[in-house]
Amino acid sequence: MQDQQLTCKDCGAPFTFTVGEQEFYQSRGFTNQPTRCPQCRAKKKTEMRGGGGNDRHHSGPRPSFEITCSECGKMDTVPFEPREGRPVLCRDCFQKQKQSDRPESFSNRE
Ligand SMILES: [Zn+2]
Ligand SMILES: [Zn+2]
């Protein structure tokens, strides 16, 4: 066995795949040569450990609260907690109301 000169796949820098490393690879049962220089390998490792990462734990099911529409009396659910003493509208009535009292600024924008 002898040292091998390899080229890093990531940064293109030449690096040495030493006999020691080759033996280590073989002992682990790896058949492939390393494709990255030691620096890039180390970088990759720290990236894998994940600074930031995208954890999706926050996107749970939306809360829904049962309401009785104060407009039409229909039962419905809303994604927010209804305030006591305040009129709550079902989805239909809410949409209707939204459409009927639109602010002026929205209507004249062509
Ligand atoms: Zn590299
Ligand atoms: Zn309604």
pLDDT tens for each residue of 19-71: 999 999 999 999 888 999 999 999 988 887 765 555 555 566 778 889 999 99
Q: N- to C-terminal Cα distance for the chain?
A: 76
Q: What is the pLDDT of residue 93?
A: 92
Q: What percent of the chain has pLDDT over 90?
A: 50
Ligand 1: distance of its center to the CA of 47 in Å? 14
- Contact, 73 vs 90, CB < 8 A? no
Report CA dihedral (9, 14, 16, 21) to the nearest 10 degrees.
-10
Residue 62 carries which DSSP code? Answer: P
Q: What are phi and psi of 48, to 5 degrees?
A: -65, -35
CA 82 to ligand 2 center in whole angstroms: 14
H or E, element range at 67 = strand 65-68
What pLDDT does residue 48 have? 78
pLDDT at 107: 54
Distance from residue 62's CA to the centre of ligand 2 (Å): 21
